[in-house]
């Protein structure tokens, strides 16, 4: 029986997440499986991977094959490196302590790289929010200036209209005063 480590799709349309399973190659993609060894959520940034690396390594050691994506996931998590180092220990090329030290160094570098990415993403989000706030403040000040200018223009027009009405009223009063003595 050929066994593969592969992904089993779950989730809704356009928002999938996957279970990492060990299954017979003849079983359907989302069908029967032998063992679930983890999960993979590509919707987060960086992608969330939960993996039982001991079980994955055990299945690889007994001959389970991987699909392309699961091979990438296992490599990202260090399972394939551990398998490689265990092969070196079995051949006598290095001791178990050396293999453990190499794996620990690699894991430390990977964790530092992941943390740097997370910090970069949070810094980029903060910069984007700051830029959006500055743009909003600029737009608000421009609107306030435009409103103030419009209000000043309206007040000026109202003042001119009041002066014209006052002048017209004074002319009418003067005309009436001029007509009143002529009638008398």
Domain ranges of the chain: 3-78, 115-171
Q: Which of 18-22, 125-129, 164-168, 177-181 has the least mean pLDDT?
A: 177-181
Percent with pLDDT over 70 in the chain: 97
pLDDT of residue 16: 93
The answer to whether 21 touches 73, Cβ cutoff 8 Å, is no
Architecture of the domain whose range is 3-78: 2-Layer Sandwich (3.30)
What 3-state class would DSSP assign to 23? strand
The answer to whether 86 touches 99, Cβ cutoff 8 Å, is yes
pLDDT of 85 strictly over 70:
yes
Nearest in space to 79 (alpha carbons), one of 106, 41, 42, 101: 106
The pTM assigned to this predicted structure is 0.66
pLDDT of residue 1: 66
30 Cβ contact list (under 8 Å, min separation 6): 8, 9, 10
Average pLDDT value over all residues in the chain: 89
pLDDT of 182 strictly over 70:
no
pLDDT of residue 177: 77
Instruction: Tell me what the mean pLDDT of segment 66-94 comes to.
Output: 91
Nearest in space to 21 (alpha carbons), one of 63, 46, 54, 56: 56
Q: How far is 171 from 184, CA to CA, in rounded Å? A: 20
């Amino acid at each position: 029986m050929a066994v593969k480590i592969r992904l089993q799709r779950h989730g809704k349309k356009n928002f999938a997440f996957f279970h990492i399973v060990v299954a017979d190659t003849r079983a359907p993609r989302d069908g029967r499986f032998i063992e679930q060894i983890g999960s993979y959520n590509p919707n987060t940034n960086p992608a969330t991977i939960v993996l039982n690396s001991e079980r994955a390594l055990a299945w690889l050691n007994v001959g389970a094959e991987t699909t392309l994506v699961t091979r990438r996931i296992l490599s990202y998590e260090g399972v394939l490196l551990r398998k490689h180092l265990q092969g070196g220990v079995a051949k006598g090329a290095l001791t178990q302590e050396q293999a453990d030290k190499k794996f620990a160094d690699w894991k430390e570098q990977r964790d530092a790289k992941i943390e740097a990415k997370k910090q970069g993403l949070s810094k980029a989000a903060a910069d984007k929010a700051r830029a959006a706030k500055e743009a909003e403040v600029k737009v608000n000040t421009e609107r306030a200036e435009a409103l103030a200018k419009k209000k000043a223009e309206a007040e000026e027009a109202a003042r001119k209209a009041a002066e014209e009405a006052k002048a017209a009223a004074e002319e009418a009063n003067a005309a009436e005063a001029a007509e009143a003595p002529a009638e008398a």
